[in-house]
Structures are given as C-alpha cells and as structure tokens.
Amino acid sequence: MLEIRWHSRAGQGAVTGAKGLADVVSTTGKHVQAFAFYGSAKRGAAMTAYNRVDDKVILNHEKFMSPDYVLVIDPALVYIADITANEKEDTTYIITTHLSTEELIASQPKLAGKKVYTVDCIKISQETIGKAIPNTPMLGALMKVSGMYDMVFFKENMARVLKKLPQKIIDANMIAIQRAYDEVK
C-alpha cells in the first residue's frame, strides 16, 4: 500500500490533484482511493487530501494515515500545519517553496534529517498556467522523486483527466508538470 498526504489551502487544487493522480494510477490496473478532510470549507483554509494505492482492493476507510509521501503545495504550511504528523522513518517530503532545500530545513528544523525535496510549484504555475494553482506541477515533481511513471505516459493521462479545460490551459499544465519534474531537487 502506497499512501500520500497532501497539505494545501482550500482552492489550490489538492483534491483535484489527488483525484487526478488516482485516475491516472487506476488506468494501470491498480486500486486507488482519493479523499480529503473538509470542514466548513473556506478558500484559503489549511486542509489535507489523501491518496491510497494498492495492488489489491482497498478496504481501509480510516482517515488516519502514516504517509509514504507528504506533498506540501503551499509554502507557508511548512510553518503552520503539522506536516510531519504520523510520519514513518522513510517518509518523503516534497515541498513547494522559493527556498533551496538547505534554506528550507534551516527555517523549519523539524525537517532536518528527513528526505526532503523542494520545488517552486507556485512560481511554476504562475509562469505557465497564469495563476497559483500548484497541484499539477506537484504531480510532475512526484513523478520525478518517486519514479512512479514515465513522463510521456503520465502527461498523456493527465491531459485526458483535464480534458474539460480549454486546450490552452491543458497545454500550460503539461509545461508546468514537465518544469516541476525537471526542477525538483
């Protein structure tokens, strides 16, 4: 079982990202789950979303999770949300920030000694899609760090998931995904 927790602000697309990832993974014959914690959802409120992936049917519906990957798509959540909650020894963190990995760890010491990768999904999405929607670039970074799927396959399927959007926006998302894949460190 592979488990992923997203930290996001409502409106940044973590739910769409989690569901999009589930959709792509499902095409490979694996079983998937994508869900989120909602309160009285307000744009900008800190929230979490989740993915489970397994070779067999996923029966577990508990919200509790010890994630293999933690994806943080808003830079400030590193300091105000409990992003290391229920972590495992080898939990991998991919964090959106304009800082380098070293600078980030210096600013948030509880990440010291952990597997931390950084990428600026906010900047990438602003420069490609035209607004701060960091969800799809984060998936590009996840593909690089996890080696889950090759980029041709992944982008092909993400384009299908996004097919209701205008072609221009789909193309911009594909560039954002590729840039995050190339730039994550």
4, 34, 47, 129: which one binds another protein (CB under 8 A): 34
Q: How far is CA 14 from CA 76, 105, 127, 149, in A?
A: 15, 23, 19, 20
19, 144, 155, 179: which one binds another protein (CB under 8 A): 19
184 and 145 Cβ atoms separated by less than 8 Å: yes
11, 23, 46, 84: which one binds another protein (CB under 8 A): 23
Please work out the total of residues on this chain that contact another protein, with binding judged by CB under 8 A. Answer: 21
Those residues with Cβ within 8 angstroms of residue 68's Cβ, 6 or more apart along the chain or in another chain: 2, 3, 4, 88, 90, 91, 92
7, 9, 17, 22: which one binds another protein (CB under 8 A): 22
Q: Which of residues 100-139 bind another protein (CB under 8 A)?
A: none
Residue 62 or 90: the one with the smaller Cβ distance to another protein is 62
38 binds another protein (CB under 8 A): yes
The binding site for another protein (CB under 8 A) comprises: 18-19, 22-23, 26, 31-36, 38-40, 58-64
